[in-house]
Structure 1
Amino acid sequence: MDYITLPQAVENFIAATNAHDVNALAAVFGDGATVRDDGTTYVGETEIREWIQVHLINPKIVITPTSFAGDRLVASGDGEFPGGPLSFAFVFDIKDDQVTDLTIDPV
């Protein structure tokens, strides 16, 4: 696979997700960040930490990037959930090397 150049915040998001590290993953998000995933919006540190635990850590998600253009990462997500691996689009808004907004949709 060709090497994909990613912004530092996206690299940090992938590394922390794949390491199943709640604290490192929470640190990727800036103050007042928003995550939209699976029809729900999570705002702020408390809600985002809960989303991280339930949607990324508990099912032991591993993200494998396949492409990145503009602010959109397409990646394969696998873990302990039925039907995996699945492809997802992660659309990031980043400020000062932290994620301020993340939207995740199936591809």
Structure 2
Amino acid sequence: MPTLPLPAPVESALRAANSDDVEGFLALFTEDGVVTDWGREFRGRDGIREWCKAEFIGRKVTLEPMAVWREGHKATVSLRVGGSSDTGPSDIAFTLEGDRIARMELIG
């Protein structure tokens, strides 16, 4: 699959995560957005906020996009992940709904 530019909501989400901006990150999700982290689901902005503070932005994550693939409303981004835990390569799939993220799945 070819590498493409990042969709705007995904680029904004990565920028917010790299800037420790939890509220900016949350604002990019739909009201009923979902994060799936290795089979665990966090629903709605309150659920995502708790996950984000404890396991994502709260761990000073850094995300460097390496490639992105698009299939319809889904964009899968290969990243180099840094921070205080779980570093290395990873893939995150984002399902977009207009200019918002409906679903973010940590998949590899």
Do both share a fold (TM > 0.5)?
yes
1:56 matched to 2:60:
no
1:75 matched to 2:92:
no
Conserved in 1, the CA contact under 8 Å of 2:4 and 2:69?
no
Q: How does 1:87-98 map to 2 (within 5 A)?
A: 87-98=89-100
Deviation at 1:4, TM superposition (A): 5.5
Conserved in 2, the CA contact under 8 Å of 1:20 and 1:56?
no
Q: TM-score, normalised by structure 1?
A: 0.88
Equivalent in the alignment of 1:101? 103
- Tell me, which stretches of 5 or more residues in structure 1 are unaligned? none
Letter in 2 for 1:95: E
* Deviant stretches of 4+, over 2 Å: none
Distance in 2, matches of 1:22 and 1:87, equals 22
1:16 matched to 2:4:
no
Q: Deviations over 1:10-62 (max 9, x none)?
A: 00110000000111011011110111003311111110011111122221000
Aligned residues: 102
